[in-house]
Structure 1
Amino acid sequence: MKRIIKSIIILSFIVYIAVCVNLLFLDQRTFGASEITYAQYIRFSSNFIPFRTIWSYVQALFTGSLPLNIPITNLGGNLIAFLPMGLYLPLLFRRMRSVKALILTMTIMILGVESTQLITKTGSFDVDDIILNVSGSLIGYWIFRWDWVQKLLFVSKENPKRGKAA
């Protein structure tokens, strides 16, 4: 039974990664990137100021300045998109069972995704996406840490004194 569940988890992880690659790089708007210079593209499609986009969407929720689905989709979508990574990484890689390792790995990975989107003009670079995506993975990690989830997935508990499986 453990082997079947492990195989299902690995297969679903591969499918999840394929969907992410498609959504993040292959199914993107280019913001009219072919008609503008690279410098203009960066200026119009990037946000390097933390919480600027998040705050504007939160304000839009309260003021009604945007249709409700736009801020909810953007904020919620960025949280949910990488939530599964907070489950998959510690499940598949023992080293990712540390919250510090997960945060560092996810920050580097999302920074890479955002930078690649900027360089290839397949999306926008937004520091708030990094904040929301890493936060989403932390929510997934928090779910992973629930005892009933670990029992369901046959995760062995770490012995805090010896650092080995119990």
Structure 2
Amino acid sequence: MIGNVRRLKILSRSLFVLYLFVAIYFLFFSEAMGRTVASQGYRYNLVLFKEINRFLSNVGTLGLYAVVLNIAGNILVFIPFGLLVPVISIQKRGFLFVAFMAFGFSLLVEAVQLILKIGCFDVDDLLMNTIGGCIGYLIFLVYRKISYRRKTAG
């Protein structure tokens, strides 16, 4: 039993590090995401829902792919974060802790994008990334509940 717990810890930490590398690549270096060329100036949006509304209002012009990539992509990229943080941090597994960590990591990413002039600092991204982290946490809770039921039933 202890060996399985130890292997799970090692696996989850390894997956978390791998996740961070992949996320950092797509958030800062991916040509497909337009991250290779720094813009001429600082780009930022400090008005909540401004970019979300712009994308939804211009789906015909921008295309469905761009809209889904922006909105769903910002949520999906943080689901593994919210799923893995409570697995690797046994003492800190609460919803607020995970939500705060997702927000903090997202804020760090957005600030670095602003400073390096790669992409755009966007409060909508902060919101969607944090929602993604919270969804990941809910997936963790569901998995933990199913796992506990299996242990007690068998």
- TM-score norm. by structure 2 comes to 0.81
Which of 8, 11, 22 is residue 14 of structure 2 equivalent to? 11
The answer for the alignment partner of 2:151 in structure 1 is: none
Structure 1: distance between partners of 2:20 and 2:147: 20
Structure 1 segment 1-166 matched on structure 2, within 5 A: 1-27=4-30, 28-31=35-38, 33=39, 36=40, 41-42=41-42, 45-61=43-59, 64-146=60-142, 149-150=143-144
How far apart in 1 are the matches of 2:73 and 2:18?
A: 18
**Structure number having the greater helix percentage:** 2
Which amino acid is the alignment partner of residue 116 of structure 2?
A: T
> How many residue pairs end up in the alignment?
141
**What amino acid is aligned across from residue 115 of structure 2 in structure 1?**
I
User: CA–CA distance in 1 between the matches of 2:21 and 2:147?
Assistant: 22
Return the offset for 1:17: 0.8
Distance 1:153 1:15, change over 3 A: farther
Q: 2:74·2:125 contact (CA, 8 Å) conserved in 1?
A: yes
In the TM superposition, what is the alpha-carbon distance from 1:58 to its structure 2 partner? Answer: 2.1
Alignment root-mean-square deviation, CA: 2.0
Percent of aligned positions that are identical? 30
CA distance in 2, matches of 1:133, 1:60: 22
Unaligned runs of 5+ in 2: 149-154
Decide which structure has the larger Cα Rg and report it. 1
The Cα of 1:153 is off from its aligned counterpart by 7.0
Q: Distance in 1 between matches of 2:146 and 2:119?
A: 37
Distance 1:153 1:121 in 2: 44
TM-score, normalised by the number of residues in structure 1? 0.76
Contact 1:103 1:138 (C-alpha < 8 Å) held by counterparts: yes
In 1: Cα distance, 2:81 partner to 2:109 partner: 14
Which portions of structure 1, spanning 4 or more consecutive aligned residues, are displaced by more than 3 angstroms?
Answer: 151-154
Cα gap change, 1:55/1:113 in structure 2, threshold over 3 Å: closer, same or farther?
same
User: Do the aligned residues in 1 keep the contact of 2:28 with 2:36 (CA within 8 Å)?
Assistant: no
In structure 2, the partner of 1:157 is none
